[in-house]
Structure 1
Amino acid sequence: MSQATRAPRSSSASTACACWPTPPGAAPAPGTASEPPHPPQGRPRPGGAARCAVTVCRGCCCGTPKVPGLDHTAQLTGLRDSLAAVAPVRVTDCLDACERANVIVVQPSADGRRAGGRPVWLGLVNDPDAARDITAWVKAGGPGLADPPGVLDLYAFTPSRRIRRPLG
């Protein structure tokens, strides 16, 4: 999937972090209430309910020897194998957050989105334990439906406005 197929994100400035789901009953962070999905929503299950989706960057820096000490193929294979029955794991070209390689984006399911979940960008996912924590969280429901393991706070980031602005 190329960058041109990614949905644009809201370009309004906000000091509140839109990475984690909005708690039930709380107002969403400014500029995030109508934020379109990014990356695109997961494929529907046979029963019709959309699932979480996991997007793994494998562009110019992520998944390359520029990030040493990690078996990138094993990381991707492990995510795909462990999430096969739960969520699609997609590979995309550069997400333009190279300073945070390896980047993984967890997109909420339709139910998670309705519950206030928003896409969560995770950077520097360079050890097997982080991938296992992401897997456990997605299996538990992902953004909007399950609290992420606390350690994932260390990996979460808000992408720059350059990434979020509409692609034209």
Structure 2
Amino acid sequence: MSRRKAPARAAAPQPQCTVTVCRGCCCGTDKVPGVDHAAQLAMLKAELGAVAQVRAVNCLDACEQANVVVVQPSPAGRAAGGRPVWLGLVNDPDATADITAWVRAGGPGLAEPPDILDLYAFAPSRRVRRAVED
């Protein structure tokens, strides 16, 4: 019988929040001038890559709210009552930093968002909401 130890197994990664960033016809374009859209997306990916899935999508069909970011809870956050949070007019680096801090703390259902994010929250139509949340 061998006395060698079995190799240690890496812990399975925990399911994470998903941060969806609109980069379609209005968000991430010259329609919202003065915003470095590429830097915003790069910052979210760099800051959240280890704790959340960050994805850019073509259009979330909420163009009047450009730039739109949707923070979906992790499975643990959903079990704790968290629901996706739609944030619009995210055109300021401070707003992006507030979103980052909230997601790093656990996101919907697990951490209270900074109060300032209440100013960015909006409710999209049911049709739009279903397309992203499914």
What TM-score comes out, normalization by structure 1 length?
0.69
Distance in 2 between the 1:60 and 1:152 partners?
A: 24
Distance in 1 between the 2:44 and 2:59 partners?
A: 19
Q: Which is worse superposed, 154-163 or 94-103?
A: 154-163
Q: Are 1:88 and 2:14 counterparts? A: no
Q: 2:70 aligns with which of 105, 121, 130?
A: 105
1:127 match: 92
More helix by share: 2
Supply the RMSD in Å over aligned alpha carbons: 1.5
Distance in 1 between the 2:13 and 2:45 partners?
A: 21
Report if the CA contact (8 A) 1:49-1:110 is conserved: no
Distance in 1 between the 2:80 and 2:58 partners?
A: 29
Distance in 2 between the 1:82 and 1:48 partners?
A: 17
**Could you report, residue by residue, the CA deviation over 1:54-112 in whole angstroms, capped at 9, with x for unpaired residues?**
00000000000000110000000010001111111100011000000000000100000
Give 1:48 deviation, angstroms.
Answer: 4.7
Report if the CA contact (8 A) 1:120-1:156 is conserved: yes
Distance in 1 between the 2:128 and 2:107 partners?
A: 23
Instruction: Report the secondary structure of 1:54's partner residue.
Output: strand
Letter of the structure 2 residue corresponding to residue 88 of structure 1: Q
Aligned length: 122
Letter of the structure 2 residue corresponding to residue 100 of structure 1: Q
Distance in 1 between the 2:13 and 2:104 partners?
A: 18
Q: 2:42 aligns with which of 55, 77, 85?
A: 77
Distance in 2 between the 1:137 and 1:77 partners?
A: 17
Instruction: Report the secondary structure of 1:145's partner residue.
Output: coil
Structure 2: give runs of 5+ residues left out of the alignment. 1-10
Give 1:162 deviation, angstroms.
Answer: 3.6
Give 1:50 deviation, angstroms.
Answer: 1.0
Larger Rg: 2
Instruction: Report the secondary structure of 1:56's partner residue.
Output: strand
Q: Which has the higher contact order (CA 8 A, sep 6+)?
A: 1
Instruction: Report the secondary structure of 1:75's partner residue.
Output: helix
Distance in 1 between the 2:60 and 2:37 partners?
A: 16
Instruction: Report the secondary structure of 2:52's partner residue.
Output: coil
